Structure 1
Amino acid sequence: MRRRFVIEAVMVATYGQLLVPNRPVDYVIPYSTIMELYDMKEGAEPVMDDPEDDRHVKTKIAELIEFFQDPLNKKKIERALQVPWRESSPLILNENVSFIVMNALDNAQFGEFFDPIETEQILTAGRLQIPLLTDQLELQDRIIEAEAPVQIYDIEDFEFAVEEGISEQDWQTSRDL
């Protein structure tokens, strides 16, 4: 069974282990996070603190941009962008990884508690009823504090999330407590 996660595009470029899961995974990526890749690639501001890591991640960002610009993938993305909240057809990276681009829209539902990209991730996860995968501890804390109705996993728990995860029923039960 394929596992699905909402994730920012830069996380995929930053964490190589996400591209070699033990089981099939679909990453649902809000389109706005793909657009962020262009700024990160060209920007003078480092993505990573260590200069060598920064060069490596920027190379991976460039490769990911190239993947999304592949004519077939680009066509799938453009179709999804025609309608709000539409998912692209899967963009297949390898036998275990595919990307689905979501034309998510920030509706200011959470006010100023989250930035527009965070809001799109939360709304996408809630709309699709799938977990959000992130490395941002402060975002995780704010999601819990705001009682946003989404399940979140830290990147460090990726293998657990793919192998076992928390069932929808257990997650709902824990929310109701």
Structure 2
Amino acid sequence: MHNRFVIEAVMLAIYGHLLSPAKPVEYVIPSSTIHELDDILRSGDPVMPEPEDDKYVKEAIGKLIAFFEQPFYAKKISGSLLAPWRTSPPLPINEKVSITVIYAVDSAQYGEAFDPVETELILTCSKQRAPLLTDQIDLIGRMLEAEVPVMIVDIEDFEYVLEAGTEPYPENDTLY
């Protein structure tokens, strides 16, 4: 079982435990969510409700930005930005975690029910045949209501899903 999940870059900063999973994991991250990291820091708006937590998460976001800006990784990522749906090679964070950056493109396939980043996440899940890992209850609800054909994993259930080793998309199964 290859443990792959589609996730927004900021979730890795907010949920630090995702960087030290029990089993090897590959996170697929749309490039637009990496660009959002700078916007989050520059906005000055709190990311977390508690000031101490907010400070910690913003420091983690800064470290994640620094990771992506390292010359070796920046070159690998820029290569993925040459064509829509192209991916970078897996970028190792540590011995159990790697990140693959994908140049996702919002096709407005899901109309006004989802914003462009949400649409990119959904389409990335479909194209990569990987579940979405998120904490956004509202997004999960809207995806279920719209019957979006992707597997959704709440971050609270991440360790369970990782340990269960379920295969979300069998090789010969179609999503549509």
Structure 1 residue runs without a partner (length 5+)? none
Structure 2 residue runs without a partner (length 5+)? none
TM-score by length of 1: 0.93
> Is the 8 Å Cα contact of residues 2 and 23 (structure 1) preserved in structure 2?
no
Partner of 2:33: 33
Q: Distance in 2 between matches of 1:94 and 1:124?
A: 23
1:113 aligns with 2:118: no
Q: How many residues align?
A: 174
Q: What pairs up with 1:28-177 in 2 under 5 angstroms?
A: 28-168=28-168
Q: CA deviation at 1:169?
A: 6.2
> Is the 8 Å Cα contact of residues 29 and 100 (structure 1) preserved in structure 2?
yes
Q: Once superposed, which parts of structure 1, at least 4 consecutive aligned residues long, lie more than 2 Å away?
A: 165-170
Q: Secondary structure at the match of 1:41?
A: helix
> Is the 8 Å Cα contact of residues 9 and 29 (structure 2) preserved in structure 1?
yes
Q: Distance in 1 between matches of 2:58 and 2:150?
A: 30
TM-score by length of 2: 0.94
Identity of aligned residues (%): 54
For 2:97, the aligned partner's letter is: V
Deviations 1:10-43 (A, max 9, x none): 0000001100001100000000000110011121
